[in-house]
Chain A
Amino acid sequence: MEIPYSVKPRPDTGLYNAKVGIWLFLASEVMLFGALFCSYILLRVNAPDGMWPHHWLNIWLGMTNTIVLIFSSVTVVLSWASLKMGQFKRYKLYQGVTILCALTFLCIKSYEYHDKFIHYEVILTDGRIADGHIEKGQTTADTVALLGWWPKDEAALMDPPMGHPVEKIEIPRKQIKTMENYGPWHNTYTAIYFVLTGLHALHVLAGAIVIFAIWGPLAKVWEQDPERYINRVEVSGLFWHFVDLVWIFLFPVLYLL
């Protein structure tokens, strides 16, 4: 049994099924990320004055990732256009670049995550706060070694002054009251940061896998049924654009504002 309009567009709507499907799916994705953005706003508005973190993320890394994703959006379009013109080799090349971009993005993102997981805020028994990246090599059972600084209070931590002095700090464990890294449990900012970017990264990963599958293992469909193949590339491309678009919102919201 053949499902109508699974390849050819239906005359009165001008769309084939998968294209309608992906647009609907993207609408639901808008609601998903929309809800999380709203949560972000509510949490931020609820935070006491001066207690919402700023400049906790590396703008240059974020910027690089933004450029990588925008670039990949261009290659996705070019690869689809190449297929439309019957240039399979070019398609392979462009889409290969897309996949590389996705991997680059994920590598940079993992580096940023790792950076947060080794970043500790230590509150000493005398009330002082030490903040910095842990030096694994020199941290022992008795002392914790950080490469960081001594903010004067929590508020100073919320917006660390640019180029504050960084020193080597050694704290005997006995003097530590609490010690916590910048994971999602740290505060509502890191929490929503990890959820938003984590969910986005999962989308990048999923998109990359689908694009790769069409590009590699399923490439023979091109010979058997080129129209179906182009549709697949188009649909996965639409998804990819959406993933990029989400990042275009995430970047300023989390890195700049």
Chain B
Amino acid sequence: MESTTHDAHAPPHQEPGFWQKYIFSTDHKVIGLQYGITGLMFLFMGFCLMTMMRWQLAYPGHPIPIVGKLLFRVLGEDMVGKDAAGHVGVMMPGLYNSFGAMHGTIMVFLAIVPLAFGAFGNFVTPLQIGAPDMAFPRVNMVSYQFYFMGGIIMLASFFIPGGAAQSGWTSYSPLATVADMGTRPNGQTFWIIGMVFLISSSLLGAVNFITTIIQMRAEGLTWMRLPFFVWAQFVTGFLLLLAFPPLEAAAVLQLGDNLLHTSFFLPTGLVVSGQHLHVSGGGSPLLWQHLFWFLGHPEVYVLILPGMGIVTEIIACNTRKPIWGYRSMVYSVLTIGFLSFIVWAHHMYLTGMGTRIATFFQTTTMMISIPSVIILTSLFISLWGASMRFNTPMLFALGFLPMFGIGGLTGLPLGFNASDIHLHDTYYVIAHFHYVVAPGTIFALFAGIYYWYPKVTGRFMNEFWGRVHFALSFIFMNLVFMPMFIQGMAGLSRRMYDGGATYAAQDGVVGLSKQVIGLNIPISHAVWALGLAQLPFVINFFWSIRRGKKITSDNPWQATTLEWQTPTPPPHGNFEKPVEVFRGPYEYSVPGHATDFTPQNEPPTAAPAPHGNPLLS
């Protein structure tokens, strides 16, 4: 239902104005960039929240340096208090809870998903399938606007009375309903409404992506010729499409509990601070957890699959070899998609489920690690015997592999309920999922930024500072998250406002050792160092727009996939003439071919090469 009728009225080559071109654009590339810039800003914000929380964990009760006074002035004395000596800037428990809840929410729903799916998905997918745009350009614009609205609502909630939501990114009921009961609407109300916007945005995006991939593939681009990145986005689209609606339902129900005094998640006889709560009761707190994790687990694959897609593209291009086991990777990613809908209760082993149900979910959880291992192994084997180009995107992609490996393997003890009962809700879990998402997905996102930057701007990012950025990030990421495994195994709870001091061992009292609690300090320092390590990236990013080394061809990495066969930057409508595809996505180093890469749209030569590439047959 798109624009033919409109175009008919407009003069053929009228340049759209600023607003039309950059703010209300329906061009997938502009929308991708909008997602990208907004997402990076939220990534930065989510990180800032954590830098302040890490101060409180390392030095509980001390005023936060530099920003403490400012926080006090903006958020008031309920949130920011004084230490014994009367210095303002101490993070109060409520603020710690808000920052924690919003760190998770912002990172997952406002930073990583919008970057991985919204930004890279939007910019790259239509180009890689040879399409002029998304199937529904206007719906695409609306998805971004919903995302933006959701973000604004979440941010606004910091400044309302009572502050932002305080019940974790998982918003478990009844805590989410009884926290801050006095104020309505409160931070939690904003959180729910914000989530409804974000969910609607993702749903529209998912419909659009899947339709685009099904309908708009170029002539000859059959399913098994799709770049792995497109497959990853395709499965991600289905995860979002089918997993998010239950959370939307849950959000509506929790909104009822918070505003209309319904009792969906409130059990009979609930007592809050010594007071019997006047609600009808009869609800089920477990219902929330089921609905949340039914989304929650597929969501973690939403976080990782696009990252795997990006890394695969970069590895193929920089090893100058076809990806080993492309087909098994495709089947694996599809299997992950299916299985991720039936593992959710591994987040709920401690809720007292029966052994049969626990057995079922342990089995499915172990099964889902198989396809993940297949993908990772295929990527590792793809490196075998390659003469690699170690440029910045490749370094980040190579960094991704072991980091994701650590994250995935440490998931296995969590998947068995015998070991999970010890590890649940400790820093071990934090370390596990951050290994997958932070040095995992975020490295993949950096890799993607360095890799596709020349297509967007026509210039490379600076190689030297890119490497510095990689090396420092790699070191500090590990310094941040590796010690958390130790803390977690020692039993440090993930939700301690004072970094575990409450449960410190004392004479005659068993508790957390000094060393375990003491690890908080080097971790926090590594966090701040990690922040500084991003400076080269930020400067490089802006500096290279104008000053970076100019590309000399539209295909500067000499890649095979279609996004490199466009002008730079690709114009509205992308391709100068309709593309036709003749071959698979990764035909690198085909024997007998003049160059070591054969673009997907290069027609077959009249006489077939004498020796076929055994890797391709």
> Which A positions have Cβ atoms within 8 angstroms of B?
1-6, 10, 13, 15-18, 20-21, 24-25, 27-29, 31-32, 34-36, 38-39, 42-43, 46-47, 51, 183-188, 191-192, 195, 199, 224-225, 228, 231-232
CA of A6 to CA of B131, assembled, Å = 13
Instruction: Give A76 to B52 CA distance when docked, in angstroms.
Output: 58
Is the Cβ of A10 less than 8 Å from the Cβ of B241? no
CB distance from B99 to the nearest CB of A (A): 30
Given contact pairs A20-B215, A35-B294, A43-B264, A188 touches B246 in the complex (Cβ within 8 A): no
Query: Is A28 within 8 A of B215, CB to CB?
Result: no
User: Can you list, as one digit per residue, whether each of B266-307 has a CB less than 8 Å from chain A (1) or not (0)?
Assistant: 000000000000011011101100110010000000000000
Within 111-138 of B, Cβ neighbours of A (below 8 Å) are at 131-133, 135-137
Q: Is the CB of B133 within 8 A of A3?
A: yes
Residue on A nearest B574 in the bound complex, by CB? A1
A-B contact count (CB 8 A): 140
Complex Cα gap A46–B244 (Å): 25
B215 and A15 contact, CB distance less than 8 A: yes
CA distance A232 to B5 in the complex (A): 15
Known: A28-B207, A195-B253. A5 touches B216 (CB 8 A): yes
User: How long is the Cα–Cα vector from A187 to B263 in the complex, in angstroms?
Assistant: 7
> Would you list which residues of chain B between 576 and 611 have a CB under 8 Å from chain A?
none
CB <8 Å contact, A31 and B4 = no
Stretch touching chain A among B144-152, B254-262, B318-326, B449-457: B254-262
Docked pose: A187 CA to B279 CA in angstroms: 9
Asked whether B215 lies within 8 Å of A4 as measured between CB atoms, the reply is yes
19 A-B Cβ contacts within 8 A? Answer: A1-B133, A3-B2, A3-B135, A4-B216, A6-B135, A13-B214, A17-B216, A21-B208, A24-B206, A28-B203, A31-B245, A32-B248, A38-B290, A39-B291, A184-B262, A187-B263, A188-B283, A191-B256, A191-B262
Q: Contact partner of B132 among A3, A43, A46, A183, CB < 8 A? A: A3
The DSSP consensus for interface residues of chain A is: helix
Q: How far is the CB of A13 from chain B (nearest CB, A)?
A: 6
Asked whether B211 lies within 8 Å of A21 as measured between CB atoms, the reply is: yes
Cross-chain contact of A6 among B2, B242, B282 (Cβ < 8 A): B2
B203 contact set on A, CB distance < 8 A: 25, 28
* Contact between chains at B207 and A25 (CB < 8 Å): yes
- The answer to whether A17 touches B572 (Cβ under 8 A) is no
B242 to chain A: closest residue by CB: A31
Contact B211 A17 (CB under 8 A): yes
Add 7 more A-B contacts to A1-B7, A28-B206 (CB < 8 A).
A3-B132, A20-B135, A24-B210, A31-B242, A32-B248, A35-B250, A38-B290
For residue A201, give the distance in angstroms from its CB to the closest CB of chain B: 14
Give A178's nearest chain B residue, CB to CB.
B278
Contacting residues, chain A, for B573 (C-beta < 8 A): 1
Query: How far does the Cβ of A15 sit from chain B's closest Cβ, in whole Å?
Result: 7
Residue of chain B at shortest CB distance from A32: B245
Determine if A28 and B245 form an interchain contact, defined as CB atoms under 8 angstroms apart. yes
Q: Contact partner of B211 among A24, A31, A192, A228, CB < 8 A? A: A24
Closest chain A CB from B226 CB (angstroms): 14
By a CB distance below 8 angstroms, the chain B residues around A185 are 260-263, 279-280
Query: A2, A17, A184: which contacts B215 (Cβ < 8 A)?
Result: A17
Q: Are A46 and B284 in contact (CB under 8 A)?
A: yes
Contact flags (1/0) for B327-347 with A, using CB distance below 8 Å?
Answer: 000000000000000000000
- Which one of B211, B264, B280 lies within 8 Å of A39 (CB-CB)? B264
Which of A31, A186, A199 is the most central at the interface, judged by chain B CB atoms within 10 Å of its CB? A31
Partner of B241, one of A27, A39, A184: A27
Given contacts A28-B242, A186-B280, A195-B253, contact A43 B206 (CB under 8 A): no
CB-defined contacts of A6 to chain B, threshold 8 Å: 1-2, 4, 135
How far is A5 from B131 in the complex, measured between Cα atoms in Å? 11
- With A21-B207, A21-B211 already in contact, the answer to whether A1 and B132 are too (CB < 8 A) is yes
Task: Choose one: A16, A24, A231; the contact of B207 (CB below 8 Å).
Answer: A24
Q: Chain B: which residue is nearest A1 at the CB level? A: B573
Most B C-beta atoms less than 10 A away, residue of A17, A183, A184: A17
What distance in Å separates the Cβ of A82 from its nearest Cβ neighbour in chain B? 21
Chain B residue contacts of A10, Cβ below 8 A: 215
Is B249 on the interface with A (CB-CB < 8 A)?
A: yes
A136 CA / B364 CA spacing, docked (Å): 58
Q: Give chain B interface residues in 210-234, CB to chain A under 8 Å.
A: 210-211, 214-216
Q: Assuming A28-B244, A42-B284, is B291 touching A35 (CB within 8 A)? A: yes
Contact assessment for A43 and B287 in the assembled complex, using a CB-CB cutoff below 8 Å: yes
Question: Does B3 count as interface, using CB distance less than 8 angstroms?
Answer: yes
Is residue B535 contacting chain A, with contact meaning CB distance below 8 A? no
In the complex the two chains form, what is the Cα distance from A31 to B47 in whole Å?
A: 33
Chain B minimum-CB-distance residue to A4 = B216
B505 within 8 A of A: no
Q: Does B160 contact A (CB under 8 A)?
A: no
Point out the residues of chain B lying under 8 angstroms from A188, CB to CB: 262-264, 280, 282-283
Q: Is there a chain A Cβ closer than 8 Å to B74's Cβ?
A: no
The answer to whether B135 and A35 have CB atoms under 8 Å apart is no
A199 touches B136 (CB 8 A): no
Give CA–CA (A46, B281) in the complex, Å: 11
**Given that A20-B211, A43-B264, A188-B280 are contacting pairs, would A232 and B249 also be in contact in the complex, using a CB cutoff of 8 Å?**
no
Whether a CB of chain A sits under 8 angstroms from the CB of B252 is yes
Q: Which 5 A-B pairs have the closest CB atoms?
A: A35-B246, A32-B245, A31-B245, A191-B262, A35-B249
